[in-house]
């Protein structure tokens, strides 16, 4: 593939996922430079976005995780500047970033997802935690609606823990998603150009696959191929593509799942700008599918301008 355009690799930013974004972006930038592509790092926390136009960038490869890069706001600006960019468009990015809206959409379409409830900061009653725990009948995952990389998430089993976890999550968002905790295997399916890559199964000795398990711990195990039987592998790919398209996502991304002891799969969330670090899942799946990291980066770059 010959690329003659001037490429801005967008990474860093102001979100809570800045550190992960810096690592993802640097890995992607290095891969482009190794292939002789005119690529440059661009951190919107260090310079105005309008410099993209001033400095003559032809395309933007988005490696910003979280708000300001993965939520549709950057995509909207790039549309106005008429600069092609990678990944999902405005709508797909905004919906994929919002765990609550994603749940509502996939549930409406009859896709499998765990029981959930939404708590709003403006109307939250701390005294309701006991009743909430009773209604779920077991452990609950508490998730800020608009954060990634498991930031602000907690698993709780008592009303007191729930109350604290909700208050902590409110530090990140005005809306908090309470989701039935699923005991079982965690899978993820990467998507590239409308195709599902081989699934990955993750195993961690921690309570759940949290930020430390994803980026810091050496005890996390990854299985790719995942060990799923042929029928389950096919179903994972089918559900991943259905959820991805349901929220209007496109180009490339990742869909996360849990599987309970009965073999039932549950869609957790959609990621439109997944990590691309040394420990990230999309490169692992791509490698199993026969793609090198450099080839994967070129494939992601090729999604620029395909949102319409």
Exactly one of 71, 173, 210, 269 is catalytic; name it. 269
Burial of residue 221 (CB within 10 Å: 0-12, 13-18, 19+) is exposed
Structure tokens at 59: 């395309």
Nearest one of 171, 147, 152, 175 to 15, comparing CA atoms: 147
Cβ atoms of 242 and 109 within 8 Å: the answer is yes
| Annotated active-site residue in 12, 13, 15, 17 | 17
Instruction: Say whether 149 is catalytic.
Output: yes
To the query of whether residue 215 is one of the catalytic residues in this protein, the response is yes
- Report whether 280 contacts 287 (CB < 8 A): no
- Say whether 256 is catalytic: yes
Out of 149, 150, 190, 226, which one is annotated catalytic?
Answer: 149
Options 57, 85, 209, 215, the catalytic residue? 215
Which of the residues 23, 209, 275, 280 is marked catalytic? 275
Its sign, for the CA torsion 181, 98, 145, 9, is positive
What is the DSSP code string of 144-165?
Answer: ETT--TTTT-EEE-SHHHHHHH
Active site (annotated) includes residue 269: yes
Query: In whole angstroms, what is the distance from residue 62 CA to residue 70 CA?
Result: 8
Q: Is 271 a catalytic residue?
A: yes
Up-side HSE of residue 31: CA atoms within 13 Å toward CB? Answer: 22
- The answer to whether 209 and 272 have CB atoms below 8 angstroms apart is no
Q: Choose the catalytic residue: 256, 259, 266, 280.
A: 256
* Active-site pick, 15, 24, 271, 280: 271
Question: Of 18, 201, 254, 259, which residue is the catalytic one?
Answer: 254
Catalytic residues: 17, 149, 215, 254, 256, 269, 271, 275
């Amino acid at each position: 593939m010959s690329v003659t355009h001037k490429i801005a690799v967008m990474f860093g930013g102001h979100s809570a996922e800045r550190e992960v974004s810096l690592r993802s972006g640097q890995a992607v930038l290095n891969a482009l430079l190794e292939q002789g592509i005119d690529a440059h790092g661009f951190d919107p926390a260090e310079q105005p976005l309008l410099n993209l136009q001033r400095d003559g960038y032809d395309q933007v490869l988005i490696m910003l995780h979280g708000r300001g890069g993965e939520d549709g706001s950057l995509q909207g600006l790039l549309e106005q500047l008429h600069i092609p960019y990678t990944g999902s468009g405005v709508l797909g990015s905004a919906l994929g970033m919002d765990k609550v809206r994603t749940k509502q959409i996939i549930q409406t379409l009859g896709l499998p997802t765990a029981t959930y409830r939404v708590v709003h900061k403006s109307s939250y009653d701390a005294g309701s935690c006991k009743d909430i725990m009773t209604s779920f009948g077991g452990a609950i995952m508490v998730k800020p609606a608009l954060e990634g990389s498991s930031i602000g998430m907690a698993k709780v089993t008592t009303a007191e823990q729930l109350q604290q976890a909700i208050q902590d999550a409110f530090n990140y968002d005005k809306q908090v998603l309470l989701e039935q905790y699923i005991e079982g295997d965690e899978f993820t399916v990467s998507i590239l150009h409308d195709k599902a890559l081989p699934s990955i199964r993750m195993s961690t000795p921690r309570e759940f696959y949290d930020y430390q398990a994803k980026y810091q711990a050496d005890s996390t195990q990854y299985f790719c191929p995942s060990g799923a039987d042929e029928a389950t592998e096919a179903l994972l790919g089918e559900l991943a593509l259905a959820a991805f398209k349901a929220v209007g996502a496109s180009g490339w991304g990742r869909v996360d799942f849990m599987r309970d002891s009965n073999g039932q799969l549950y869609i957790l969330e959609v990621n439109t700008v997944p990590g691309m670090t040394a420990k990230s899942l999309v490169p692992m799946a791509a490698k199993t599918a026969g793609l090198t990291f450099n080839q994967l980066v070129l494939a992601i770059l090729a999604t620029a301008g395909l949102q319409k």
